[in-house]
Amino acid sequence: MKMDPTLHREKKPDWIKVRLPNNPGFWSTKSLITDLKLVTVCEEAQCPNRWECWGQGTATFMIAGDKCTRACGFCAVKTAKPDALESDEPQRVAEATRRMNLRHVVITAVARDDLRDGGAEHFKLTIEAVRQANPEIIIEVLVPDFNDRDWALAMVMQARPHIFNHNLETVERLTPLVRSRAQYQRSLTVLKKAKEMVHGKIATKSGIMLGLGERHDEILRAMDDLLAHDVTVLTLGQYLRPTQKHLPVVEYITPQAFDEYKAIALAKGFRHVASGPLVRSSYHAADFRPELDVLESIEADVRAARGLEIGPEHLPLPSPKPALIQAIA
Ligand code: SF4
């Protein structure tokens, strides 16, 4: 399946405006990230909001390196053989959240198909280090699909993030063109399984980029599919072409249309929807907080896992099946 490059709309409309840095906050975020030798998706994916987010002292950390094993047609992150994992990276991310005084952190990673666990343990260690350094923080993870290995997903869930985010990125028909190796149905089941593994005690979130040639009915269908898989938080943003080698922009969706999609999504049953031309998965992520009872039960599970309050109701995960134990071993 190929997209016709002549469909590309070269000229960006007026509503796609990137704000340049105008406050010292941007530079202090930049120097902190440089100082701790961290990688951010803000830079690697050429996010149009980085001037704004960094200026406000937030950023999205990208762990497990800056080289991805997949080559998605929309993504600016480079594809190459990744480097070895850095064992002190979880601590450096934790230190950044402490120094930045974050109340909400988004942690993502490149797809590490070269690793048997897809980088799941590295996610787990990072979540644990962040929680240790900053016990009050809301931890959101934006994860790859771990090649649908349940035992790898279970490792991440064992660390009990508060928000589990995995992007659908596009509608079903365009998935083979837009995403490398990922599958639409698999992404949906990853979202559902993640929630089931913690007995529903988590918020699940997903995002779709618009402007790649998807139809209105296909967007609504994707919303329905996400809801059918218990996803309650949705982000909708405009696809922007990072380089000439990436997929063309077929359409610039108007801000009014984004507002209409937001209204539709809320009416369908999503709990929180961020929708707009420059919305990205982590844009203003702190605007959404899971329900208090979800937060409390996650904290109870974390305490129980540390041995402070042992009780069967606090078991963080369903008992692993023998096959799963074997796989982990
Ligand atoms: S929207 Fe997310 S990726 Fe973009 S700059 Fe903000 S925090 Fe970084």
Tell me, in angstroms, the distance from the centre of ligand 1 to residue 46's CA.
9
Pick from 33, 58, 236 the residue to mutate for probing ligand 1's pocket: most ligand atoms within 8 Å of its CB: 58
Cβ 235 under 6 angstroms from ligand 1: no
Residue nearest to atom 8 of ligand 1 (CA): 42
φ/ψ bin of 171: left (φ > 0), alpha (ψ from -120 to 50), beta (otherwise): beta
The model's pLDDT over 232-252, given as tens digits with 9 standing for 90+, comes to: 999 999 999 999 999 999 999
Mean pLDDT, range 157-161, rounded to an integer: 96
Mean pLDDT, range 176-204, rounded to an integer: 95
Go through the chain and tell me how many residues it has: 329
Cβ 47 under 6 angstroms from ligand 1: yes
Structure tokens given for 38: 């961290």
Closest among 59, 53, 55 to 33, alpha carbons compared: 59
Mean pLDDT, range 59-72, rounded to an integer: 93
Cβ 165 under 6 angstroms from ligand 1: no
d(Cα 311, Cα 165) in Å, to the nearest integer?
Answer: 28
| Residue 276 pLDDT | 97
Mean pLDDT, range 28-48, rounded to an integer: 94
| Residue 308 pLDDT | 61
Mean pLDDT of the chain: 90
Q: Reduced to 3 states, what is the DSSP secondary structure of residue 10?
A: coil
Percent of the chain having pLDDT more than 70? 90
d(Cα 155, Cα 167) in Å, to the nearest integer?
Answer: 19
Choice between 2 and 114, residue whose per-residue pLDDT is larger: 114
This prediction has a pTM of 0.90
Indicate if the pLDDT at residue 322 is higher than 50: no
Residues in Cβ contact with 246 at an 8 Å cutoff, skipping those fewer than 6 apart = 73, 74, 75, 76
The model's pLDDT over 252-297, given as tens digits with 9 standing for 90+, comes to: 999 999 999 999 999 999 999 999 999 999 999 999 999 999 999 9
